[in-house]
């Protein structure tokens, strides 16, 4: 049973390669070089991590801005807020 290495494209026997969690076959030579996934998978993996940290940062920034906004320290909207509070 022959399998094609997802990283280098070499055709190797099934027992001479390793199937990773993404269903990709990585040959022994690539494993020795420290390759566990294809460059595309590594990119996706890192990209997802980057996206999550970016979203967390965005949410954290939004919360901080909202806190300042509610505190009336970032924008001078306290007058508007007072008017809105009085009408309720």
Residues forming contacts to Zn ion in the complex (CB under 5 A) are: 5, 7-8, 27, 30
Q: Which is nearer to Zn ion, 29 or 72 (by Cβ)?
A: 29
CB of 8 to Zn ion, least distance (A): 3
Which among 17, 12, 9, 7 is positioned nearest to 39, based on CA atoms? 7
Q: Which is nearer to Zn ion, 43 or 81 (by Cβ)?
A: 43
Which among 57, 81, 56, 85 is positioned nearest to 69, based on CA atoms? 81
CB atoms within 10 A of CB 32: 8
Q: Which is nearer to Zn ion, 14 or 48 (by Cβ)?
A: 14
């Amino acid at each position: 049973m022959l399998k094609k290495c997802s990283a280098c494209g070499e055709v190797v026997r099934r027992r001479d390669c390793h199937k990773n969690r993404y269903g990709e076959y990585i040959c022994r030579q690539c494993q020795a070089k420290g390759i566990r996934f294809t460059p595309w998978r590594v990119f996706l993996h890192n990209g997802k991590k980057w996206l999550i940290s970016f979203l967390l940062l965005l949410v954290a920034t939004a919360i901080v801005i909202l806190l300042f906004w509610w505190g009336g320290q970032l924008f001078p909207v306290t007058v508007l807020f007072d008017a809105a509070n009085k009408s309720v």
